[in-house]
């Protein structure tokens, strides 16, 4: 049993993650475009972040002492928008405006359009550099907040990401916590076929990071890792979260083709039925 989170709270978070997945399906069907597999795969982690781990205030999104969450792989923004709506940043009904012209919920997050979004993201490999800059600046200013950076596994094929890994390790940025969505897929296939990333853990350790590995669908495990990361004072931490792309929808799980396509309305009905059945 976890020392950091009560069993009842874990159950509540699991139910919320299911709601988040339902919202993701609904908004993607309505939009008719977007990224499905990764958004569903990170629902448990984003639910844990917004409803338990992060120090933040939806009613005061610019609170100076808030923890910062940088979403580097901006294409999975449906999961971020869904948890933000359900945690009170904006009305849940607004989720249906995803990718619509003039909407605050663009296909990649726009910092100036939606309070609570820290950075505009899209170019893969760039988010960790932004997070490193914020963490380094926070230390210079004597600020105590944490900087979290969610990344895809495939964006680790970008060279500039490794410059950021090296800089963070060299400067012992212990206020920085990376989270890797290790779902093993990218738009053209499996990561280990396209451009192998393994041994991923050893690479981060070689750059002087504290590395934790978790089941990305076990909320208790993730919360324990996030709490452990807060106790590491001599180096940055990365949590490698092993996830299933399309998690929660049986015919979508592990199928890389769902990376960048969305359910048709008739698929959506079937998928929502499956998600609702999961909590009966």
Torsion angle in degrees (nearest 10) through CA of 244, 222, 260, 90: 140
Q: How far apart are CA 49 and CA 222, in angstroms?
A: 9
Tell how strand 189-190 and strand 185-186 pair up: antiparallel
Would you list the DSSP string of 108-152?
A: S--TTTSTT--S---STT-HHHHHHHHHHHHHHTT----EEEEEE
Would you list the DSSP string of 260-276?
A: S----HHHHHHHHHHHH
Q: How far apart are CA 269 and CA 212, in angstroms?
A: 37
Q: Which CATH class is domain 7-278?
A: alpha beta
Output the CA angle 81-257-195, nearest 5 degrees: 95
Q: Do residues 222 and 239 touch, judged by C-beta distance below 8 A?
A: yes
Which region holds residue 62: left if phi is over 0, alpha if psi is between -120 and 50, else beta?
alpha
Q: Which residue has the tokens 């979403």?
A: 71
Q: How far apart are CA 253 and CA 264, in angstroms?
A: 17
Which phi and psi (to 5°) does residue 110 adopt?
A: -115, 115
Q: How far apart are CA 36 and CA 60, in angstroms?
A: 30
HSE-CB of 257 using CA atoms within 13 angstroms: 4
Q: How far apart are CA 120 and CA 246, in angstroms?
A: 24
**Could you read off the pLDDT of 100-147 as tens digits, one per residue?**
999 999 999 999 999 999 999 989 999 999 999 999 999 999 999 999
SS3 53: helix
Q: What is the chain's mean pLDDT, rounded? A: 96
Structure confidence at residue 122 (pLDDT): 80
Per-residue pLDDT of the chain (280 residues; tens, 9 = 90+): 667 889 999 999 999 999 999 999 999 999 999 999 999 999 999 999 999 999 999 999 999 999 999 999 999 999 999 999 999 999 999 999 999 999 999 999 999 999 999 999 989 999 999 999 999 999 999 999 999 999 999 999 999 999 999 999 999 999 999 999 999 999 899 999 999 999 999 999 999 999 999 999 999 999 999 999 999 999 999 999 999 999 999 999 999 899 999 999 999 999 999 999 988 7
Q: How far apart are CA 8 and CA 48, in angstroms?
A: 13
Distance separating the N- and C-terminal Cα atoms of the chain: 24
Q: Where are the domains of the chain?
A: 7-278
Q: Work out the angle between the directed axes of helices 219-230 and 7-31 (0-180°, nearest 10).
A: 110
pTM for the predicted model, two decimal places: 0.97
**Could you read off the pLDDT of 81-99 as tens digits, one per residue?**
999 999 999 999 999 999 9
Report which of 81, 73, 84 is spatially closest to residue 150, judged by C-alpha positions.
Answer: 73
Q: How far apart are CA 273 and CA 47, in angstroms?
A: 21
């Amino acid at each position: 049993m976890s020392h950091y989170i009560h069993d009842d709270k874990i159950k509540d978070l699991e139910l919320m993650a299911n709601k988040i997945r339902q919202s993701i399906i609904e908004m993607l069907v309505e939009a008719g475009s977007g990224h499905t597999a990764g958004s569903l795969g990170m629902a448990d982690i984003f639910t844990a972040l917004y409803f338990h781990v992060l120090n933040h205030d939806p009613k005061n999104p610019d609170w100076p002492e808030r923890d910062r969450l940088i979403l580097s792989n901006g294409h999975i923004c449906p999961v971020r928008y869904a948890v933000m709506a359900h945690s009170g940043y904006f009305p849940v009904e607004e989720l249906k405006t995803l990718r619509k012209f003039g909407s605050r919920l663009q296909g990649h997050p726009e910092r100036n359009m939606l309070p609570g979004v820290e950075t505009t993201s899209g170019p893969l490999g760039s988010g960790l550099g932004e997070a490193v800059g914020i963490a380094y600046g926070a230390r210079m200013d004597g600020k105590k907040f944490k900087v979290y950076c969610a990344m895809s596994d495939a964006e680790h094929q970008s060279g500039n990401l490794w410059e950021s890994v090296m800089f963070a390790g060299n400067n012992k940025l212990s206020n920085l916590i990376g989270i890797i969505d290790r779902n093993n897929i990218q738009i053209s296939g499996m990561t280990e076929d396209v451009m192998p990333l393994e041994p991923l853990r050893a690479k981060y350790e070689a750059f002087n990071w504290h590395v934790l590995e978790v089941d990305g669908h076990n909320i208790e495990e993730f919360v324990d890792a996030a709490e452990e990361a807060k106790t590491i004072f001599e180096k940055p931490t990365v949590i490698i979260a092993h996830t299933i792309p399309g998690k929660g929808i049986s015919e979508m799980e592990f199928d890389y083709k769902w990376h960048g396509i969305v359910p048709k309305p008739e698929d959506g009905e079937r998928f929502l039925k499956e998600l609702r059945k999961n909590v009966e």
